[in-house]
Structure 1
Amino acid sequence: MKSTVEQLSPTRVRINVEVPFTELEPDFERAFKALAQQVRLPGFRPGKAPRKLLEARVGRGAVLEQVVNDALPSRYSEAVSASDVKPLGQPEIEVTKLEDGQELAFTAEVDVRPEITLPEFDALKITVDPIQVDDDEVDAELQSLRARFGTLTGVERGAQEGDFVSIDLSATVDGTEVPEAATEGLSHEVGSGQLIEGLDDAITGLKVGESKVFTTKLAAGEYAGKDADVTVTVKSVKERELPEADDDFAQLASEFDTIGELKESLTDQVKRVKSVQQAEQIRDKAIEALLEQTEVPLPEKIVQAQIDDALHNAIHGLDHDEDKFAEQLTEQGSSREEFDAENKTNAEKAVKTQLLMDAVADKLDIQVGQNDLTERLVLMSRQYGIEPQQLIQILQQNNQLPAMFADVRRGLTIAAVVHAATVTDTDGTVIDTAEFFGPAEAAQAEGEQADEAAADEATDKDADAAE
């Protein structure tokens, strides 16, 4: 078999393949074996009919079609392996020559990973917000904790923000009642904004037994998007009384003896949350810095596939009804043109980021170790509430293990870039990134262990072959 590669663009190639018929003999054997099981000939047991009789029955054309269809994928893979091509997505294959007994020739056009010139990672400078904890933030956490231990007491005044009410709701559209919008004894915190728009304003000031009618758009059901006249009736009003923030409360709500110790713990808690947010900002800014300094050619078909997937996900819940989708966008203050433009921008950035991260991983020779995969599986299994082994089976069944592997590798890649870069906050303080991105030495050791494991495996295979 001979193959050559034509570079059509920085992101697309055409692979030309020529296969002599002598190399297709194994494919003919498989084709006739399959036909022998399918075609019944008098006087022969299933699978035992001679090739000539089978060919006479089904025709030479049918045999050739079977052989070509079976041969194309394997010969394409063989041609890719023999080249430096790194395909993205599925190829477009076209048979250009089929001379019976002589030669099979075909072309395969496919998107490929482009060559990317990367910046020096140690020259990257990343600046993020400093971690600052204000007294107001700690007080907000303390207030939230007090609310959890608060008690509800009925009041006779009008409802106000923060109160808990029990309400009845009913709605009509153009005078027609909407049964699915009617409910009784619904609990609601005034000011939470968790139910329909306009409800909190309508409830505010109402006493027990009082009602009010307001107009709002229904979000779901038969009348979704329609203006409805909603009647709300208050059945009860309760205010939340909070415990005093003192030592007794600290002992009730925590393992601490004093309110001062509890506040210190809440301060640390806020600081931890902000540390996670800062780590996310470091990661995002590292990627942005690379994107700004790197030219990444985009494979059009891969970008289009990303665009199509996003559109499919957006309208799938609407039974792929384009008109309903347009109405939904209008209600959100957007339009189809704006959606398509944003969708394209997001798809281009996503593909560019993936290609860039893979190029960086290759340059840094990022290796995914067993510990890395185990940590990710344990984390995911906790998130989904299932055993790691069950998660592995699900990932295997859905062919998602390669995607998980790639995601882990990209995470290690970002960590390596962060380690190489200079990271400071806006105050000029150098940030220790080890807590969330791991020590650089550990990442390097993990990679070396993966290299050694691969080398040992190769040695074992060579030894087995020698035997």
Structure 2
Amino acid sequence: VDSTVETLDGDRVRLSVAVDADEFEVAVDAAFRRIGQGLRLPGFRPGKAPRRVLEARIGLEAGRQEALEHALPDYYGRALVHHEVDAIGRPEIRITGGADSGSVTFDAVIPVRPRLSISGHRNLRLEIMSPEVSNEEVEAQVDALRSQLATLEAVERPVAQGDLVTIDVEGVCGGEPVPGLTATEYLYEVGSGTVTPDLDDYLNGASVGDDLEFEADHRDGEGRVSFSVSVKAVQTRLLPELDDELAAEVSQFSTAEALVSDLRDRIGHAKRHQVGMLARDAAARAVADLVTIEVPPDLVESEIDERIRDLDARLRSQGLDLERYLEATDREPDEIREEFREAAEVAARVDLGLRAVAYVEYLDENDGRLDSYLDAMAVQTGLDVEEVRARLADSGRMLEVRADVSKRAALEWLLDSADIVDEAGNPVDRELLEPPEPVIPEEVVAVDETDGVDPDNNGGTGVDREDGEPAGDEEEDA
């Protein structure tokens, strides 16, 4: 297979691919074998009729057409890998020669990831949560422990946030009681919003004996619900004082002082552990805001596809799959895609922004970073580093790995050059910003050597045939 690449306007490239007659003849032979499996011819068992008999029956053109549909994705994928084309969508393929005989030639026009310029990234100010522990945070943890031993006391006053009220509640929709929204002597915590958030608004300030009538949206989005609520009793929680006795009862510490000290240490450890992640998230959001171009729709759709694959993988780990999940939740695939769209667009902007920073700061030209990454990958997989390199190159994933390494370097560059402060404007200790250990995606090295380019990443084929027939559904064989 010979191929050339040409850059076009609008973030597209054209691959021109030529397959010599002998190589394509191998694909034609395989095509006739597949066709023969589905034909019943007198005197031959299924799949055993020789090619000459099949040609006489259905014609050479049918075999070549089947070969084109089946083999074209592989030819396209090999050219894509050879030229390291950063495709972000499906190609438009047009056969330019050889549909009937001889060598086969075709053009593939492919949308590619845009390379953009960026400015403003050298003077970022990133604000993150302070790693210091506040007294309020410690008190909140203490109150959570105190609430384990809380008692309830009836009060004769209007309802306030956090009170526990005993109510009779009835929710009616379309003249019928709504299951789960009708109960008597129901103990409800004001502010929890578990029945409907509107209930909290009506209960606040109400008194025992009050009857409340209001309407609210159905929690399942099925219209409006008419609520009738009677307030029967109001209680408040009484929290015990923090003393040595309580500390011993709710923890392994014998004194309140030791318990509070331990809580402060635990909160501080957790917050310090989050600093690096929070700073990197802030840097990613900041660089996304610097991307001023309209994100290519193909790139957003690719990000959505990736999220759906991740969701399906998580569901399968729980014994489900995406199809059964959609049935159980009564949702359509398009609804899931729309839920992911906003986050996918942000992720696409982060991707473009980090690539731009890597380019303008020459971070994508450092082979040492790539070598270190491949060394780590080799250690994790138990393979020789040259074997790792060869597998990635053969599968077309080396481009993806190079990009990941460059984007990681760009993110660390942004952190090094940014002014990172807490909510009060105090500088954050940079020793807390150590980069995380690299995580090598298992799928990057779990490469079947018989596979070519991942069709999910690079699209299938939409072939414009000379006879005007639409593309087949064979792209999964790429």
Question: What aligned pairs does 1:23-102 form with structure 2 within 5 A after superposition?
Answer: 23-102=23-102
AA partner of residue 182 (structure 1): T
Describe the shift of the 1:11–1:186 C-alpha distance in structure 2 as closer, same or farther (beyond 3 A).
farther
SS of the equivalent of 2:192 reads coil
Contact 2:288–2:350 under 8 Å retained in 1: yes
Describe the shift of the 1:412–1:218 C-alpha distance in structure 2 as closer, same or farther (beyond 3 A).
same
Q: Does 1:425 align with 2:421?
A: yes
Instruction: Give the whole-Å Cα distance in 1 for the aligned partners of 2:99 and 2:32.
Output: 19
Q: Shift in Å at residue 212 of structure 1?
A: 1.1
AA partner of residue 214 (structure 1): E
Instruction: Give the whole-Å Cα distance in 1 for the aligned partners of 2:131 and 2:2.
Output: 61
Q: Does 1:233 align with 2:213?
A: no
Instruction: Give the whole-Å Cα distance in 2 for the aligned partners of 1:349 and 1:120.
Output: 18
Describe the shift of the 1:411–1:178 C-alpha distance in structure 2 as closer, same or farther (beyond 3 A).
farther
Describe the shift of the 1:428–1:125 C-alpha distance in structure 2 as closer, same or farther (beyond 3 A).
farther
AA partner of residue 86 (structure 2): K
Q: Does 1:352 align with 2:349?
A: yes
Q: Shift in Å at residue 192 of structure 1?
A: 3.1
1:334-380 Cα offsets, whole Å, 9 max, x none, are xxxxxx9x998765442132244467485553526359979xxxxxx
- What is residue 215 of structure 2 aligned with on the other side? 216
Structure 2 regions of 5+ residues with no counterpart? 312-325, 382-396, 446-478
1:386-424 Cα offsets, whole Å, 9 max, x none, are xxxxxxxxxxxxxxx99x999996995576446744654
Describe the shift of the 1:84–1:343 C-alpha distance in structure 2 as closer, same or farther (beyond 3 A).
closer
SS of the equivalent of 1:33 reads helix
AA partner of residue 248 (structure 2): Q
- What is residue 392 of structure 1 aligned with on the other side? none
- What is residue 284 of structure 1 aligned with on the other side? 281
Contact 1:116–1:295 under 8 Å retained in 2: no
TM-score of the two chains, using structure 2 as the length reference: 0.66
Describe the shift of the 1:140–1:348 C-alpha distance in structure 2 as closer, same or farther (beyond 3 A).
closer
Describe the shift of the 1:35–1:160 C-alpha distance in structure 2 as closer, same or farther (beyond 3 A).
closer
Structure 1 regions of 5+ residues with no counterpart? 326-339, 375-400, 448-453, 455-467
- What is residue 451 of structure 1 aligned with on the other side? none
Describe the shift of the 1:187–1:273 C-alpha distance in structure 2 as closer, same or farther (beyond 3 A).
farther
1:35-94 Cα offsets, whole Å, 9 max, x none, are 333223323344332222111112222112111112201111121232132222332222
Describe the shift of the 1:214–1:413 C-alpha distance in structure 2 as closer, same or farther (beyond 3 A).
farther
AA partner of residue 85 (structure 1): V
Question: What aligned pairs does 1:36-435 form with structure 2 within 5 A after superposition?
Answer: 36-115=36-115, 127-129=126-128, 130-155=130-155, 159-172=159-172, 176-180=175-179, 181-204=181-204, 210-220=209-219, 224-226=222-224, 228-275=225-272, 278-288=275-285, 290-291=287-288, 298-303=295-300, 347-357=344-354, 360=358, 363=365, 365-366=369-370, 367=373, 369=376, 413=409, 416-417=412-413, 420-421=416-417, 424-425=420-421, 429=427, 431-434=429-432
Q: Shift in Å at residue 261 of structure 1?
A: 2.3
Instruction: Give the whole-Å Cα distance in 1 for the aligned partners of 2:343 and 2:296.
Output: 14
Describe the shift of the 1:409–1:225 C-alpha distance in structure 2 as closer, same or farther (beyond 3 A).
farther
Instruction: Give the whole-Å Cα distance in 1 for the aligned partners of 2:282 and 2:341.
Output: 22
Contact 1:4–1:17 under 8 Å retained in 2: yes
Instruction: Give the whole-Å Cα distance in 2 for the aligned partners of 1:220 and 1:29.
Output: 60
AA partner of residue 101 (structure 2): G
Larger helix share, 1 or 2: 1
Instruction: Give the whole-Å Cα distance in 1 for the aligned partners of 2:99 and 2:37.
Output: 27
Instruction: Give the whole-Å Cα distance in 2 for the aligned partners of 1:244 and 1:164.
Output: 20
TM-score of the two chains, using structure 1 as the length reference: 0.68
Contact 1:372–1:408 under 8 Å retained in 2: no
Instruction: Give the whole-Å Cα distance in 2 for the aligned partners of 1:54 and 1:420.
Output: 68
Instruction: Give the whole-Å Cα distance in 1 for the aligned partners of 2:115 and 2:401.
Output: 22
Contact 1:86–1:113 under 8 Å retained in 2: yes
Describe the shift of the 1:304–1:437 C-alpha distance in structure 2 as closer, same or farther (beyond 3 A).
closer
Contact 2:355–2:410 under 8 Å retained in 1: no
1:131-182 Cα offsets, whole Å, 9 max, x none, are 34333332233222211221224456654433223322113468x3434332
Contact 1:125–1:421 under 8 Å retained in 2: yes
AA partner of residue 194 (structure 1): T
Superposed CA RMSD:
4.5
Describe the shift of the 1:430–1:142 C-alpha distance in structure 2 as closer, same or farther (beyond 3 A).
closer
Instruction: Give the whole-Å Cα distance in 2 for the aligned partners of 1:407 and 1:101.
Output: 41
- What is residue 395 of structure 1 aligned with on the other side? none
SS of the equivalent of 1:198 reads helix
Bigger drift between 346-355 and 300-309 goes to: 300-309
Structure 1 vs Structure 2: percent identity of aligned residues?
29
Instruction: Give the whole-Å Cα distance in 2 for the aligned partners of 1:29 and 1:127.
Output: 62
AA partner of residue 240 (structure 1): R
SS of the equivalent of 1:437 reads coil
Contact 2:303–2:344 under 8 Å retained in 1: yes
Q: Shift in Å at residue 255 of structure 1?
A: 2.3
Aligned length: 391
Contact 1:279–1:436 under 8 Å retained in 2: yes
Describe the shift of the 1:354–1:373 C-alpha distance in structure 2 as closer, same or farther (beyond 3 A).
farther
